[in-house]
């Protein structure tokens, strides 16, 4: 566990602009920096980095955080791992204190599995390079059959597992690794008849699988035997540290090149990736022989929105693989397709050509998905009208996946031209497909937008204004029908944005100056109330502790808090008012209120009263349900009735107070 002193040093040294610039190209805009968000597809930059405040915020997808949480999110790694990456950048030694027994139990399995995999990778590599079997069998395959150089073999950590049934397993046990983790990583298997362990990958050349941060999560083993009863590839099973749907082979080695070229090349297998890298084309990844998954596409989407899929020239599985194109389109990615010559696959093509030749071939032969699909499917359809109709339907299915309206419109035009079909017919079919596939969400969004446009007017201060829920919240006009979650968020908004402010509150004939934070804490504590949101409660505790120490609450303490949820939630609330526009980054949205004091005097008491009313209403519902239960004794019934009467009386008083606040 990393001690707090080291964490503080990391945060003190980390320059958020420097850290994020390692992953995203930032452009200065006034006192801040901006870029297209690395977490979602966009054409207009809405991702803003504030060096003075020490955090980033995307006003498109809503993600926000500090330097460490950015690395954590972008690399898809744990918080301690992100801390170590940032520490390494600034040459800070990470000191870890001894973990408690509970910490050990919690972290032992995953860390033990990572450690064992790391040892196994070194073991396989050493066996490849230093044993007679490794040199005569494994090296011969890699060097002569695949044409891999020694530098390439070392870069990807290639190795070999011995042919003896349990040699690797026994050597691991001798080295102190536990049977439990040999089985959970899948490196070893147990025989049912006698319980003895043996090597899963025996007599196979080995391909370590790295996750996005470079840790080894799994292995792929290829047999060199010609026996067809033996599976060509054997892969690690799913485990605590490995989920094949979440990993892309080669991404760790390719991510920088993908960012530089702003597109990724998708191939099928390990050797395809390695040969492409060796030829000098490094922006290439593979789904490792498994069907492409949504998670893999989203992982790749962190680095680029452009994917080029390369198919073998004689691949019989191209038709089946077209489903992957639809999945890529559905995630808002741009996809192009390259068909290699009939005699080649990516591995052989890369070995036969230089990097410039490979890149030139891709540039000259890459087609948009609609052109590629039309060519491929029309070969089978010929002039058969029924088959051509099916082709149109297949292409419409793909176009319907595209979330962007403009792109969808362009491909509809292209499809109509290629297929010589009325464009309006394609438009109608695409619309029908979209209603069937994503209609519920679109309908919900449409209704929400219509409700916002036709929102009933609110009477305020003698005048009438039209406002959305967001506008109402931001000026202290919380709608009466707000949920408890919404009210809790509003309370946190007032605390974090205005906790140190004071406002005048009329009490009878007297005017009393109230501090926002003090009023919130007093009103919650007097009734013993807590917020249901655990992160909000933690922020309240931190704020309360600062007030108890008679010190000002520094937002940097929350933004740089070791709990990423505290950091992200704080930034989300602090930036909720900010309306990003190119001409005025991070400027607060203009709101028409007389003064901040009047807004607080109206909003803070009202949201607290609404929150209490909601809590009280829930309590009344619970008591009414209890009263309706059968088998209550007379004494129990009387007790519930007394509580119910008291709650209803309190609710009436709150309603009167709330009415005065609203008016």
Query: Residue 598: is its pLDDT beyond 80?
Result: no
The CATH number linked to 14 is 3.90.580.10
- In this structure, the answer to whether residues 129 and 275 fall within a common structural domain is no
- In this structure, the answer to whether residues 495 and 621 fall within a common structural domain is yes
Q: Which tokens in the block code for residue 81?
A: 């791992």
pLDDT, residue 573, reads 86
pLDDT, residue 102, reads 58
With respect to residue 450, please indicate whether it lies within any of the assigned structural domains.
no
* Range of weakest confidence among 48-52, 232-236, 401-405, 465-469: 465-469
- Yes or no: say if 243 and 282 are a contact pair by the CB < 8 Å rule: no
- In this structure, the answer to whether residues 524 and 657 fall within a common structural domain is yes
- In this structure, the answer to whether residues 655 and 522 fall within a common structural domain is yes
pLDDT, residue 442, reads 46
Last residue of a domain, one of 191, 212, 242: 242
The CATH number linked to 151 is 3.90.980.10
The residue segments making up the domain with residue 268 are 254-434
With respect to residue 274, please indicate whether it lies within any of the assigned structural domains.
yes
> What would you measure as the largest C-alpha separation in the chain, in angstroms?
97
Helix (H, G, I), strand (E, B) or coil at 380: helix
Length of the chain counted residue by residue: 663
> CA 234, CA 226: separation in Å to the nearest integer?
15
Q: For residue 307, what are the β-bridge partners?
A: 264, 335
The mean pLDDT of 366-378, rounded to a whole number, is: 85
- In this structure, the answer to whether residues 296 and 414 fall within a common structural domain is yes
pLDDT, residue 280, reads 93
| Per-residue pLDDT tens over the stretch 285-316 | 998 766 788 888 888 886 788 999 998 866 55
With respect to residue 53, please indicate whether it lies within any of the assigned structural domains.
yes
Confidence of residue 200 (pLDDT cuts 50, 70, 90): very high
- In this structure, the answer to whether residues 207 and 261 fall within a common structural domain is no
Confidence of residue 451 (pLDDT cuts 50, 70, 90): very low
pLDDT, residue 107, reads 57
Helix (H, G, I), strand (E, B) or coil at 363: helix
Query: Residue 603: is its pLDDT beyond 90?
Result: no
| Per-residue pLDDT tens over the stretch 66-95 | 999 999 888 878 888 889 889 988 888 887
- In this structure, the answer to whether residues 235 and 259 fall within a common structural domain is no
With respect to residue 468, please indicate whether it lies within any of the assigned structural domains.
no
Residue of 322 and 194 predicted with greater confidence:
194
Highest mean pLDDT among 37-51, 571-585, 639-653: 37-51
> CA 248, CA 284: separation in Å to the nearest integer?
10
With respect to residue 97, please indicate whether it lies within any of the assigned structural domains.
no
> CA 512, CA 658: separation in Å to the nearest integer?
19
DSSP state of 216: E
* Range of weakest confidence among 67-71, 193-197, 240-244, 434-438: 434-438
- In this structure, the answer to whether residues 167 and 28 fall within a common structural domain is no
| Per-residue pLDDT tens over the stretch 324-357 | 888 899 888 899 999 898 888 899 999 999 989 9
Confidence of residue 607 (pLDDT cuts 50, 70, 90): confident
pLDDT, residue 106, reads 52
Confidence of residue 509 (pLDDT cuts 50, 70, 90): low
Residue of 436 and 266 predicted with greater confidence:
266
pLDDT, residue 179, reads 94
Last residue of a domain, one of 56, 89, 122: 89
Spatial CB neighbours of 339, under 8 Å, sequence gap ≥ 6: 311, 313, 365, 372
DSSP state of 587: P
| Per-residue pLDDT tens over the stretch 462-476 | 333 333 344 334 434
With respect to residue 457, please indicate whether it lies within any of the assigned structural domains.
no
Q: Where are the beta strands (DSSP E) in 104-183?
A: 159-160
* Range of weakest confidence among 67-71, 215-219, 248-252, 380-384: 380-384
Residue of 447 and 626 predicted with greater confidence:
626
Query: Residue 517: is its pLDDT beyond 90?
Result: no
> CA 139, CA 158: separation in Å to the nearest integer?
10
- In this structure, the answer to whether residues 114 and 67 fall within a common structural domain is no
- In this structure, the answer to whether residues 389 and 510 fall within a common structural domain is no
> CA 170, CA 177: separation in Å to the nearest integer?
10
With respect to residue 622, please indicate whether it lies within any of the assigned structural domains.
yes
Confidence of residue 605 (pLDDT cuts 50, 70, 90): confident
What total of structural domains would you count in the chain? 4
The mean pLDDT of 180-184, rounded to a whole number, is: 95
Q: Across all residues in the chain, what is the average pLDDT?
A: 81
- In this structure, the answer to whether residues 45 and 146 fall within a common structural domain is no
- In this structure, the answer to whether residues 226 and 280 fall within a common structural domain is no
With respect to residue 446, please indicate whether it lies within any of the assigned structural domains.
no
Dihedral of the CA atoms 457, 459, 465, 466 (nearest 10)?
A: -20
The CATH number linked to 361 is 3.40.1360.10
pLDDT, residue 99, reads 54
């Amino acid at each position: 566990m990393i001690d707090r002193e080291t964490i503080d040093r990391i945060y003190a040294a980390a320059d958020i602009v420097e850290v994020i610039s390692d992953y995203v190209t930032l452009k200065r805009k006034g006192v801040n920096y901006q870029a297209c968000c690395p977490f979602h597809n966009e054409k207009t930059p809405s991702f803003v980095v504030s060096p003075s405040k020490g955090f980033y915020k995307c006003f498109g997808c809503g993600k926000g955080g500090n330097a460490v949480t950015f690395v954590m999110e972008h690399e898809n790694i744990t918080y301690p791992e992100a801390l170590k990456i940032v520490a390494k950048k600034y040459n800070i030694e990470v000191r870890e204190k001894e973990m408690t027994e509970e910490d050990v139990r919690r972290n032992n399995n995953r860390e033990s599995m990572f450690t064992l995999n790391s040892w196994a990778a070194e073991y396989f590599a050493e066996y490849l390079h230093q044993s007679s079997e490794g040199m005569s069998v494994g090296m011969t395959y890699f060097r002569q059959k695949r044409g891999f150089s020694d530098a390439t073999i070392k870069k990807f950590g290639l190795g070999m597992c011995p042919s003896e049934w349990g040699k690797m397993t026994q050597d691991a046990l001798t080295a102190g690794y536990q049977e439990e983790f040999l089985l959970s990583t899948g490196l070893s298997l147990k025989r049912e008849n006698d319980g003895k362990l043996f090597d899963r990958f025996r007599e196979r050349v080995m391909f370590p699988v790295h996750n996005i941060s470079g840790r080894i999560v799994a292995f792929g083993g290829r047999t060199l035997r010609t026996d067809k009863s033996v599976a060509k590839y054997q892969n690690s099973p799913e485990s605590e540290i490995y989920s094949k749907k979440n990993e892309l082979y080669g991404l760790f080695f390719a991510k920088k090149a993908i960012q530089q070229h702003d597109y990724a090349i998708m191939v099928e297998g390990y050797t395809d990736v390695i040969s492409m890298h060796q030829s000098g084309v490094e922006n290439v990844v593979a789904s490792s022989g498994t069907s492409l998954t949504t998670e893999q596409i989203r992982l790749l989407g962190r680095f680029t929105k452009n994917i080029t899929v390369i198919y073998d020239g004689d691949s019989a599985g191209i038709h089946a693989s077209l489903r992957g194109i639809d999945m890529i389109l559905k995630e808002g990615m741009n996809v192009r397709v390259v068909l290699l010559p009939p005699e080649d696959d990516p591995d052989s093509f890369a070995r036969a050509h230089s990097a410039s030749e490979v890149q030139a071939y891709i540039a000259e032969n890459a087609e948009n998905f609609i052109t590629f699909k039309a060519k491929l499917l029309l070969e089978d359809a010929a002039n058969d009208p029924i088959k051509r109709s099916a082709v149109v339907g297949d292409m419409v299915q793909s176009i319907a996946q595209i979330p962007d309206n403009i792109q969808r419109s362009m491909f509809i035009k292209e499809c109509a031209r290629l297929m010589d079909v009325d464009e309006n017919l394609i438009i109608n079919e695409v619309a029908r497909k979209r209603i069937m596939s994503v209609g519920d969400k679109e309908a919900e969004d449409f209704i929400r937008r219509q409700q916002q446009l036709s929102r009933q007017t609110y009477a305020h201060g003698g005048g009438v204004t039209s406002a959305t829920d967001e506008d109402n919240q931001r000026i202290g006009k919380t709608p009466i029908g707000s949920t408890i979650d919404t009210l809790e968020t509003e309370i946190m908004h007032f605390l974090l944005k205005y906790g140190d402010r004071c406002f005048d509150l009329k009490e009878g004939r007297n005017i009393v100056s109230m501090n926002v934070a003090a009023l919130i804490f007093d009103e919650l504590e007097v009734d013993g109330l807590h917020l249901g949101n655990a992160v909000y409660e933690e922020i309240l505790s931190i704020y309360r502790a600062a007030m108890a120490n008679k010190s000002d609450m520094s937002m940097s303490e929350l933004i740089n808090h070791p709990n990423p949820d505290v950091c992200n939630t704080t930034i989300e609330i602090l930036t909720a008012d900010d309306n990003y526009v190119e001409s005025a980054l991070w400027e607060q949205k203009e709101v028409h209120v007389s003064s901040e004091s009047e807004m607080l005097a109206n909003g803070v008491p009202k949201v607290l009263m609404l929150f209490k009313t909601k809590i009280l209403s829930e309590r009344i519902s619970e008591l009414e349900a209890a009263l309706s239960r059968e088998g209550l004794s007379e004494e129990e019934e009387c007790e519930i009735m007394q509580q119910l009467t008291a709650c209803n009386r309190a609710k009436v008083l709150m309603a009167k107070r709330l009415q005065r606040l609203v008016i």
